[in-house]
Amino acid sequence: MIPTEYYIFLGSGLFTIGVIGVLTRRNVLVILMSIELILNAVNINLVGFSQYFRAVDGQVFAIFVITDAAAEAAIGLGLFIALFRNKETVNADEIDLLKW
Amino acid sequence: MTFLDFIWLIPFLPALGAFIQLLWGRKLSNNAVSWISVGLPGLSFLWAVGCFFQFLKLPEHVHTFTKVLYSWLPAGAYRLGDGSIGYLNIFVGFQLDPLSAVMMLVVTGVGFIIHFYSIGYMAHEGGYYRFFGYMNLFLFSMLILVLADNYLMMFVGWEGVGLCSYLLIGFYFHRKSACDAGNKAFVVNRIGDAGFLLGMMLMAVTFGSLNFTTVTEIARSGRFPVGSGMITAICILLFIGATGKSAQIPLYTWLPDAMEGPTPVSALIHAATMVTAGVYMVARSNALYVLSPTALALVAGIGAATAFWAASIGMVQNDIKRVLAYSTISQLGYMFLACGVGAFGAGIFHLMTHAFFKALLFLGAGSVIHALSGEQDMRRMGALKDKIPTTYWTILVATLAIAGIPPLAGFVSKDEILWRSFTGPHGHTVFWVIGWITAGMTAFYMFRLLFMTFFGTSRVAHEVEHHIHESPETMLVPLRVLALLSIIGGFVGWPALLLGSNRLEKFLEPVFENPLAAQAREYSHGTEFGLMALSVAVAAVGIYVAYYFYQKRPELPERVAVAAGPGYQIVLNKYYVDELYDALIVNRAKDLGNGCAAFDLGVVDGGVNGVGWSTRMSAELSRLWDLWVIDGLVNVGAFLVKLLSYPVRVIQTGLVQTYAWLITLGVLIFMAYYLIHF
């Protein structure tokens, strides 16, 4: 049986990669992909602790998160297309409409 | 229903015509305009005739019929010149007495004939309805003038005819000369009117009334002695008004220029009716004038001088209408001469006969001008006798009448005036001599006109010659009617000496009652016959001279003109009176106007502009205060806020990733905090 620490290390590693990806990449598609990484890191955590506590709740929850991630990706891509139509860019550092 | 009760219809029928024409005339056809605007004066004439016959049927001792409509100006009480209290109350009322009856018949009768003539004469002119509207308005004003029962209402008509005269002289308003002539007539008339107005005011404070009957009664009551200064002042002021309206020296210069108007206008307004308003007014005020020998002498002197002066100018003019204009001035001079020597009846008699033959002359001249496609210069006429025969013989009748050939109308009335200027209570041989010479000059210039126009060789321009045609019947019928009147018009005043009874004078007697008349010098019938023969003789001499100069030896006038040199030029240019008035008065008035304009521009406008400038300057100061101080304070506040917000603005980049960084950083800080403390 795989010890729970492994899950946690893998999860935190994925999470870190995801966060760095979100913070540093310019292309919003890549940022979206990085968010998927973060969500998957959470899933691994959920699955790992589900096994640790011998409860199936965590795994069920992970499936919900995957569903949620799919919906999120769909909405996110739709947003990016709308954004591209207006701004003709997919670079995050050129999208600064929130400025004062 | 009696005619007299509705006497006000006489002026108001033409007024209705004017009302219709001036409001809706543009939309009416020429035919409708003619029916309305000639029909209504015709109706008015018939009504006047009805009134006249009813007036004759009034009881023997009633000489005045008055119809008061309503109180117009109840002016209230005020102190008269002699200290008593007067109550001036002016009514709108119509007065019919022998004098106004004669005037009413002349005005409506001749007016109707000329309206009828205008149908043909104006047929091809633009503004047909406008012409008839003004003509009807004129007739209304003139009838108000002669039928009024007080001076103020007479003045209303007096101003009304002046306005219509101005409008009709300037009828061809696209021609500058016509506009100038209209203005001149209006302005010159206003000078006279000022005199009339002042005379009227003086009358109001002297008599406390402007009513004809009241004023006449007071004047005849003996309250004011003969030669009273106040009466003389009133008379002279009224006469100034008359010189303006009736074109006497010194205010006669407008009448020749008034010939710019259409010819029927010259006939109606500037020959037959309006210009005689001054004579009518003096005759109307006869009770005042007989109290002032000075004023009478002035009237007679001005009249005689004008008669002679205008006749001398008329002898050399070449424009057919101008000859007639000067002739009109001259004949008006005769009328004033008659009034001035106390023979008011003779003046009114001449006014009536003059209305007939002078209207005929003008209408005939209009027919000639019509035939020659607008030519007015007699030097380009000649030999028209057989081409326009009806016009020729009617003008011949009128010419004989004005020249004083018996038994035509002009002879009777003119001879009456000459006789009275010799024998009248205020007469003098000098007046007779001037009148007598003028009679010869009248015969000369009228026959000069006749010979130059109808006899000799044709000097008509070739392109015009083909179009010569007799005028339409609508123009010829009035000529024939007026010719008939010019022949028989004199018989109403046929002198007793020639087996007549002088009915007109007897008819007018109640108006011209004169206590001084009894003092008239007595002369034998022989003298009267002699003077009559002399005046016929001088007319014959005038005719012969005209015949000799313009028929027998047509080259002679040219040589005389050259021989006379500058003298001829002076007369031809009307003694340079217009130029003299220009230099002395008109240009000085213009200078005054220019001076006032300069004052306006410099001082008044300068003041206004100064106020404007100071307002603008204070506004500028206020603007600078706003800009620098108020705005400055606001800007300082804004600047401070901007300065303070600077550090905050640095972290607000609008980039999602920056915010994500900050969130991450915050999370890490919290985590570090928990790691350190727990």
The pLDDT, as a whole number, for residue B596 is: 94
What's the whole-number average pLDDT of chain B? 89
Query: Given an 8 Å threshold on Cβ–Cβ distance, is B664 in contact with A23?
Result: yes
Q: Cβ(B545)–Cβ(B557) under 8 Å?
A: no
Beta bridge partners of B86: B78
Distance, in Å, from the CA atom of B366 to the CA atom of B438, rounded to the nearest integer, reads: 26
Query: Given an 8 Å threshold on Cβ–Cβ distance, is A92 in contact with B656?
Result: yes
Confidence of residue B517 (pLDDT cuts 50, 70, 90): low
Name chain B contacts of A22, Cβ cutoff 8 Å. 657, 660
| Cβ within 8 Å of residue B631, ≥6 positions away | none
Across the range B539-550, mean pLDDT stands at: 89
Burial class (CB in 10 A: 0-12, 13-18, 19+), A97: exposed
Positive or negative, the CA dihedral B253, B109, B37, B373 is negative
Closest CA–CA distance from residue B629 to any residue of chain A (Å): 30
Residue B241's region, left for phi above 0, alpha for psi from -120 to 50, else beta, is alpha
The pLDDT, as a whole number, for residue B568 is: 82
Confidence of residue A37 (pLDDT cuts 50, 70, 90): very high
Quick: pLDDT tens for B205-232: 998 889 999 999 888 888 888 888 899 9
Position B577 pLDDT exceeds 80: yes
Q: Strands B85-96 and B65-79, how do they pair?
A: antiparallel
Distance, in Å, from the CA atom of B540 to the CA atom of B403, rounded to the nearest integer, reads: 9
Residues of B with CB under 8 A from a CB of A: 649, 652-657, 659-661, 664
Distance, in Å, from the CA atom of B664 to the CA atom of B660, rounded to the nearest integer, reads: 6
Q: Which of A22, A98, A100 sits opposite B660 (nearest CB)?
A: A22
The pLDDT, as a whole number, for residue A30 is: 92
Quick: pLDDT tens for B643-671: 998 888 888 888 888 888 999 999 999 99
Quick: pLDDT tens for B59-85: 878 888 899 999 998 888 888 888 888
The pLDDT, as a whole number, for residue B575 is: 83
H-type alpha helices, B424-459: 429-454
- Domain residue limits, chain A: 27-92
- The DSSP element (H or E) to which B88 belongs, if any, is strand B85-96
Quick: pLDDT tens for B599-650: 999 999 999 999 999 999 999 999 999 999 999 999 999 999 999 988 888 8
Closest CA–CA distance from residue B668 to any residue of chain A (Å): 12
Position B302 pLDDT exceeds 90: yes
**From 1.10.3720.10, 1.10.1070.20, 1.10.287.3510, 1.20.1560.10, which CATH number describes the A27-92 domain?**
1.10.287.3510
ipTM, 2 dp: 0.85
Q: Cβ(B347)–Cβ(B335) under 8 Å?
A: yes
Q: Cβ(B158)–Cβ(B196) under 8 Å?
A: yes
Q: Cβ(B273)–Cβ(B266) under 8 Å?
A: no
Position A99 pLDDT exceeds 80: no
The pLDDT, as a whole number, for residue B23 is: 92
Q: Cβ(B449)–Cβ(B403) under 8 Å?
A: no
The pLDDT, as a whole number, for residue B78 is: 86
Query: Given an 8 Å threshold on Cβ–Cβ distance, is B655 in contact with A97?
Result: no
Is residue A90 less than 8 Å (CB to CB) from chain B?
no
Query: Given an 8 Å threshold on Cβ–Cβ distance, is B654 in contact with A99?
Result: yes
Across the range B292-312, mean pLDDT stands at: 93
The pLDDT, as a whole number, for residue A47 is: 92
Closest CA–CA distance from residue A31 to any residue of chain B (Å): 10
Confidence of residue A34 (pLDDT cuts 50, 70, 90): very high
Name chain A contacts of B661, Cβ cutoff 8 Å. 23
Positive or negative, the CA dihedral B235, B236, B242, B247 is positive
Between the alpha carbon of residue B171 and those of residues B107, B337, B475, the distances in Å are 21, 33, 20
Between the alpha carbon of residue A92 and those of residues A16, A95, B122, B649, B662, the distances in Å are 20, 5, 94, 19, 16
Quick: pLDDT tens for B152-177: 999 999 999 999 999 999 999 999 99
Greater confidence, B350 or B517? B350
Name chain A contacts of B664, Cβ cutoff 8 Å. 19, 23
Query: Residue B586 gets which letter from DSSP?
Result: I
Q: Could you give the count of Cα atoms lying within 13 Å of B343 in the half-sphere of its Cβ?
A: 32
Count CB-CB contacts under 10 A for residue A50. 18
Across the range A44-64, mean pLDDT stands at: 92
Among B99, B95, B97, B106, CA closest to B44:
B106
Helix (H, G, I), strand (E, B) or coil at B150: strand
The pLDDT, as a whole number, for residue B422 is: 86
The pLDDT, as a whole number, for residue A100 is: 55
Query: Given an 8 Å threshold on Cβ–Cβ distance, is A96 in contact with B654?
Result: yes
Among B390, B385, B412, B409, CA closest to B398:
B409
Q: Cβ(B38)–Cβ(B133) under 8 Å?
A: no
The pLDDT, as a whole number, for residue B634 is: 94
Cis peptide bond upstream of B250, omega within 30? yes
Distance, in Å, from the CA atom of B100 to the CA atom of B613, rounded to the nearest integer, reads: 64
The pLDDT, as a whole number, for residue B160 is: 94
Among B186, B312, B160, CA closest to B260:
B186
Quick: pLDDT tens for B333-364: 999 999 999 889 899 999 999 999 999 999 99
Quick: pLDDT tens for B110-119: 999 999 999 9
- pLDDT above 70 covers what percent of chain B? 98
Q: Cβ(B296)–Cβ(B340) under 8 Å?
A: yes
Q: Which of B652, B660, B661 sits opposite A99 (nearest CB)?
A: B652
Q: Cβ(B451)–Cβ(B546) under 8 Å?
A: yes
State how far Cα B246 lies from the chain centre.
Answer: 8
Confidence of residue B399 (pLDDT cuts 50, 70, 90): very high
Across the range A61-83, mean pLDDT stands at: 92
Nearest residue of chain A to residue B653 (CA atoms): A99
Across the range A65-93, mean pLDDT stands at: 90
Residues 29-68 of A with CB under 8 A from B: 31
Q: Where are the beta strands (DSSP E) in B227-375?
A: none
Confidence of residue B426 (pLDDT cuts 50, 70, 90): confident
Q: Which of A19, A96, A100 sits opposite B664 (nearest CB)?
A: A19
- pLDDT above 90 covers what percent of chain B? 56
Across the range B439-468, mean pLDDT stands at: 88
Helix (H, G, I), strand (E, B) or coil at B495: coil
Quick: pLDDT tens for B2-44: 888 899 999 999 999 999 999 998 888 888 999 999 999 999 9
The pLDDT, as a whole number, for residue B521 is: 61
Distance, in Å, from the CA atom of B345 to the CA atom of B351, rounded to the nearest integer, reads: 10
The pLDDT, as a whole number, for residue B424 is: 78
DSSP-assigned states of every residue in B487-552:
HHGGGGG--GGGT---HHHHHHTTTT--TTGGGPPP--HHHHHHHHHHHHHHHHHHHHHHHIIIII
Distance, in Å, from the CA atom of A42 to the CA atom of B53, rounded to the nearest integer, reads: 133
Cα Dmax for chain B:
166
Confidence of residue B463 (pLDDT cuts 50, 70, 90): confident
Q: Which of B642, B646, B655 to mutate to test the interface with A (most CBs of A within 10 A)?
A: B655
Q: Cβ(B195)–Cβ(B239) under 8 Å?
A: yes
Which residue type is seen at B520?
A
Query: Residue B66 gets which letter from DSSP?
Result: E
Position B520 pLDDT exceeds 60: no
The pLDDT, as a whole number, for residue A18 is: 93
